[in-house]
Structure 1
Amino acid sequence: MKIRQDRLAINPLQWVASADGWIDPTLAPSLDRQLEVIRDAGITALHSAVPGDMTPGAYAARLADHGISPAPGYIPVRLPGDEAELRTFRDNAARVAEQHAALGVPTVFLAMGMAKDAERVVRPAVGHLADRDRLERVRDLLAEIAGVIRTHGITPAFHPHVGTWAETEEETRFVLDTVDASVLGFGPDMGHLAWAGGDAAQLVRDYADRVASVHIKDLDLGLAAQAREAGWDYRKTVLAGLWSEPGHGNADIEGFVGALPDDFDGWLIIEVDRGARPSPEESVRLCGEWATRHARP
């Protein structure tokens, strides 16, 4: 596979996967503990998320102390209820983009966010309540926030995500087809697109010139199809064992990576939203083993 060791990172969501099938950042151990486990697993880069009590410089130094480099982070937004909320999203995007610029990371993922009681969290991965007018508002919001990010010299990479108003392949294509490439790049998550029944590899081929960085995931494709058909909610699907460490599910990681352009220079970020192993540490270790087998110097 076309994976460069110096462009392979991890977003260690294993540590924040909560017992109810959601994400709870308070569950994470200290940054130093995370970095120790990631380093010992043989992974040399981390999804960037500067803690509120640290400067980008201090954060980069802490990573460097463990032999870890910063990789693209993540900006979620939601359709705002008013101008004040929109300003909050714009200000957060500017702050994260400034941090990425200070860290020397040229790309950030941009996605629609979700809440536990959201319509598509209750009925995920099937384009529930699809609406053209809403999708156009989603497109306009992503384009506006992407423009904020661009002013800081950072490439925003659109990241479709199950449970949001931009989750399906059709919605992904609409956003990419109606926002100029000079404004918005593409940062696909192969796992979320597959969960929604999409063809992530074909999307990469079709929008090859816009793919800035990607998320690598493994999952149980049969379970994903069963959940879509039965109408399971987001958390029930996750708790049923949807996700697994790379190489331990049946997603076509090789086909997805193989679809990337030969000159692809972006990041591949491993994510396991909920580890299939007894502990997050074991899950990270298995991610490192997969990386060691497949990455080249």
Structure 2
Amino acid sequence: MKIRQDRLAINPLQWVASAEGWIDPALAPPLDRQLSVIRDAGITALHSAVPGDMTPEAYAARLADHGIAPAPGYIPVRLTEDAAARQTYRDSAARVAEQHAALGVPVVFLAMGMAKDAERVARPAVGHAARRDRLEEVRDLLAGIAGIIRAEGITPAFHPHVGTWAETEEETRFILDTVDASLLSFGPDMGHLAWAGADAAGLVRDYADRVASVHIKDLDLGLAARAREEAWDYRTTVRAGLWSEPGHGNADIEGFVDALPDGFDGWLIIEVDRGAQDTPEDSVRLCGEWAAGYV
């Protein structure tokens, strides 16, 4: 399946991947440096993340200066009993959705967020400590935040993620089956689903009418299976070399893309949390080479 070039984007996590196997935004180089490397790699769209000191309009103009368009960004939320924290998540979701509306990006990924000390970060990808009542709380939280996003005219796409209370195929299906499609769409990440042992392509086929945009991630499936069996934690698994640039692991990217419905016009966003290359720039370049083969 060929993909429109203007629907291929990147979330350049290579620059913020820390040595401990986590994500540290403080590691990011200046935005203009990132944009130059991304454009030189032949990638023409970027996961939207408006810096705190910029307006959406200024951000869009900066991207346009480099020949890059904005693509769907990301909203993480967590379960909490703290009322102030819950309000912060609601306010953040409204702000990011409003930014997407200003950027002209109609979709945003909505996921449960991670914390370094979370139970499932210590025991990821196996549905550790699963409980139906907590899953219902997760469902209700996502549905509530989805309503806030919809109020801004933006489509929220549920994004299962390893290390959170919504990571497995069973949990993914429960949330999609119990939240109305008119409220919550689907934004699968093939890499995180595969890490959790899920059939990502099967989920895309089963919920084809709800897939709004997707994340493309390649990985070492054998290492993922070993990590699950030997109870490695999240950061140990990442440091061991889980992720790779598209086409450099053994995930079935082609099968995942081919599972997308005919006429699919959502975004495919490439992510490499921690690549196998010497530098982030080399990693981004390889992402661009892979993308060129899909248009």
* TM-score, normalising length: structure 1: 0.99
The amino acid across from 1:90 in the alignment is: R
TM-aligned CA deviation for residue 275 of structure 1:
1.2
Residue 160 (structure 1) aligned with residue 160 (structure 2): yes
Q: Distance in 2 between matches of 1:97 and 1:15?
A: 25
Aligned to 2:5: 5
The whole-number CA distance in structure 1 between the counterparts of 2:184 and 2:197 is 23
Output the amino acid matched with 2:67.
G
**Structure 1 partner of 2:251:** 251
What does residue 180 of structure 1 align with?
180
Structure 1 residues 133-172: aligned runs within 5 Å: 133-172=133-172
Matched, 1:70 2:70: yes
Q: 1:9-158 maps to which residues of 2 (within 5 A)?
A: 9-158=9-158
Looking at structure 2, the residues matched to 111 and 154 of structure 1 have their Cα atoms a distance apart, in angstroms, of 15
Q: Distance in 2 between matches of 1:275 and 1:17?
A: 9
Structure 1 residue ranges without an equivalent (≥5): none
Cα distance in 1 for partners of 2:288, 2:263 equals 24
User: What's 1:240 paired with?
Assistant: 240
How far did residue 82 of structure 1 move? 2.1
- Cα deviation, 1:113-133, whole Å, max 9, x if unaligned, reads 011110000000000000000
The 1-side partners of 2:157 and 2:271 are apart by 16
- Report the Cα offset of residue 217 of structure 1: 0.6
1:33-88 Cα shifts (integer Å, max 9, x gaps): 00000000000000000000000000000000000000000000000222221111
Letter in 2 for 1:113: G
Equivalent residue, structure 2, for 1:271? 271
**Separation (CA, whole Å) in 2 of partners of 1:64 and 1:171:** 39
Letter of the aligned partner of 1:246 in structure 2?
A: P
CA distance in 1, matches of 2:133, 2:82: 17
Letter in 1 for 2:145: I
Q: After superposition, give the CA deviation of every residue in 1:86-108 in whole Å (9 maximum; x if it has no partner).
A: 11110000000000000000000
TM-score by length of 2: 0.99
Question: Matches of 1:291 and 1:88 in 2, distance apart?
Answer: 36
Residue 221 of structure 1 pairs with residue 221 of structure 2: yes
Please give the alpha-carbon distance, in whole angstroms, between the structure 2 residues aligned to 1:2 and 1:203. Answer: 20
AA partner of residue 221 (structure 2)? L
* Rounded Cα–Cα distance in structure 1 between residues aligned with 2:147 and 2:47: 22
Count of residue correspondences: 295
1:185-206 residue CA offsets vs partner (Å, 9 max, x unmatched): 0000000000000000000000
What's the CA shift for 1:213?
0.2
Cα RMSD after superposing both structures:
0.5
Deviation digits for residues 137-188 of structure 1, max 9, x if unmatched? 0000000000000000000000000000000000000000000000000000
Q: Secondary structure at the match of 1:232?
A: coil
Q: CA–CA distance in 2 between the matches of 1:247 and 1:275?
A: 12
Report Cα offsets for 1:198-248 as digits up to 9, x if no partner: 000000000000000000010000000000000000000000000000000
CA–CA separation in structure 2 for the residues paired with 1:4 and 1:228: 36
How far apart in 2 are the matches of 1:78 and 1:242?
Answer: 25
Name the amino acid aligned to 2:116.
K
Q: Find the aligned partners of 1:205 and 1:176 in 2 and give their Cα distance.
A: 13
Q: Which residue type is aligned with residue 208 of structure 1?
A: A
Structure 1: 4+ residue segments shifted above 4 A: none
Amino acid aligned to 2:220? D
Distance 2:86 2:241 in 1: 36
